[in-house]
Amino acid sequence: MAIASVFWSPRLQQGLLALCLAHALWPPVAQALSNPQADWTIPLSVCLILVMLLVRSSQLTTVTLAPIATLCLSGCLLLLLVPSATLAWVVVACVCAIFACYSTEKAAFWIGFCVALREPLAAVILELFSESVLMADASMVHRISQLLGWAVQQNGNVLQHANGHQLLILTGCSSYQNLSLVLLSWSCTLLFLHGRWPPAAIVHAILLMTLTLLTNLVRLLLLLKDADSYQYFHNLDGKALFDLWQVAYTLLFIYWSHRRYVSQNTDTVRVADAHS
């Protein structure tokens, strides 16, 4: 029996997105609520991006899904029955990709797609390449410490200072965590503002990644210096200082990319008016 095309109103699209996101967000939020010392940086960042998604979704229009897209969407929704937050994020990504292919308002779905892919990609990358990622961070910190004249020995992802202080670099302190969060915030904000990435997005992304990597290396060096520095920059005001700096330069890059996009569009309009 043939499957007819299905019409999805904006309300239905928003409701489906809300259902999928609630299914994906509840496990990490519940875990964070049960742990008073949990790091809320990532959950808060994701929630702010989801607010952008909801605001942008107010511009959605009715979408007509082809039969094959309806089948794929039904299969994705059945996967929500599996109690897995990572799988729920994969479902969110698939649902957003399906609607983005048919919707005229693609920005909201691409924001959801970017947010959803971060969790499963992080799980896969850190599962398959965690040793390489942590070794890369440890090796860069080791080389910089040698340039500074510090007597530091490296054993895998463990660094030992001559004063006896040791630093074990785990995934929570890896550059990958900060890189993924900063790029996610930058890219989703630009999508929210303009509905697309500016032409110079690649250059800006590379510069943003470089600054994030250098910032994390500086923090790891301070954690390696001695026990007092470790306590201050890992648990106390020093950690908050680095978090604020990360937010500040991310906002600066967002503003820079935004102004660049507006400037290029203004120049394009002027050239078009001159030719007309």
Domain count, the chain: 1
> Residue 272 falls within a domain, yes or no?
no
Average pLDDT over residues 112-135: 83
Q: Is 274 a domain residue?
A: no
Distance CA 184, CA 17 (A): 19
Residue 276 maps to a domain: no
What pLDDT is stored for residue 1 in this prediction? 44
Render pLDDT for 180-226 as a digit per residue (tens, 0 to 9). 888 888 888 888 888 877 777 788 889 999 999 999 999 999 999 98
- Name the residue with tokens 């992802």: 157
- Residue 94 is assigned to a structural domain of this protein: yes
The SS3 of residue 38 is coil
Residue 214 lies in a domain: yes
Q: Which residue has the tokens 């897209």?
A: 69
DSSP letter at 3 equals: P
3-class SS at 247?
A: helix
Q: Return mean pLDDT, the chain.
A: 82
C-alpha–C-alpha distance, residues 118 and 132, integer Å: 19
Length of the chain: 276
Q: 255-264: per-residue pLDDT in tens?
A: 888 888 787 7
Tell me how far apart the alpha carbons of residues 258 and 194 are, in angstroms, rounded to a whole number: 8
216 occurs within a structural domain: yes
Does residue 1 fall inside a structural domain?
A: no
Burial classification of residue 208, based on how many CB atoms lie within 10 Å of its CB (0-12 exposed, 13-18 middle, 19 or more buried): buried
Task: Give just the sign of the alpha carbon dihedral 225, 230, 232, 238.
Answer: positive
Structure confidence by residue, pLDDT tens digits, 147-162: 988 888 998 889 999 8
Supply the range of the domain harboring residue 223.
7-265
What does the alpha-carbon distance between residue 271 and residue 276 come to, in Å, rounded to a whole number? 9
pLDDT for position 37: 59
pLDDT value at 12 more than 90 = no
For the stretch 45-70, pLDDT in tens is 667 777 777 777 777 888 888 888 88
Which two tokens mark 258?
A: 């935004």
The whole model's pTM is what? 0.80
Assess if residue 256 is contained within a domain.
yes
**Inter-residue contact 94 to 75 (CB < 8 Å):** no
Residues facing 155 on adjacent strands:
158
Half-sphere exposure of 180 (CA within 13 A, CB side): 22
